[in-house]
Chains A and B, each alone.
Chain A
């Protein structure tokens, strides 16, 4: 799986959009970009994933650059409950077997009141 680079930490004001960047310059054509988050002392929670098109769901939007070398997770109206470590994961999609997720250290997002 391609390596990802994320900032160690970020602050965002409550009610504003939180934009979390991720660099994955060595991504290959069959690799998806996944985002998970981990609120303190809890198990990770899936947020969103995409291949090359931008994606949106009820939690967030995922913007992937045209060359797919980087992406941005957007939380449109951040709340205090969004304070968590956010993991950007690039994952090879294979036809069989099970693929575990490779977690780096992620970005610690702190929402300020």
Chain B
């Protein structure tokens, strides 16, 4: 199994541009999550999904959108990128929201200038 994969690894955006961060998992997990990590800080939850077609906001959803059309994929969309969105973005998945451990991808480092 590849686990959780994320593309791209790095990206530089200009202010106002848009992009989609890709996330895929091959573990047949229903639960998927997007986090962001600012320098020297812990992770903050952006959006999560409990299954295909179902998504909900986390702690810091403003400026982002998500969709979940399949179990495997959970893309994160940035519209009108701002410097405050410069961060490392991690996608994660788990088989259970109750006790299951979350498996994280390698992250996407995004810089908005």
In the complex, the 5 A-B pairs of residues with the closest C-beta atoms, listed nearest first = A103-B42, A43-B104, A100-B45, A46-B101, A98-B97
Among B37, B45, B97, B107, contact of A97 (Cβ-Cβ < 8 Å) = B97
Among A87, A94, A95, A100, contact of B48 (Cβ-Cβ < 8 Å) = A100
Docked CA distance A107–B63 (Å):
30
Instruction: Please report which residues of chain A, range 76-103, place their CB below 8 angstroms from some CB of chain B when the two chains form the complex.
Output: 87, 93-103
- Tell me the dominant secondary structure on chain B's binding face: strand
Docked CA distance A75–B50 (Å):
33
- Tell me whether A98 and B50 are in contact in the complex, defined as CB-CB below 8 angstroms, given that A32-B99, A49-B101 are known contacts: yes
Chain B, residue nearest A51 (CB): B99
* Chain B interface residue number, banded: 20 to 34
User: How many A residues touch B, CB cutoff 8 Å?
Assistant: 24
Docked CA distance A97–B94 (Å):
12
Question: Which residues does B use to contact A, with CB under 8 Å?
Answer: 4, 31, 33, 35, 37, 40-45, 48-50, 56, 58-59, 90, 92, 97-99, 101-107
Docked CA distance A34–B4 (Å):
20
Between A45, A97, A105, the greatest number of chain B beta carbons within 10 A of the residue's beta carbon is seen for: A97
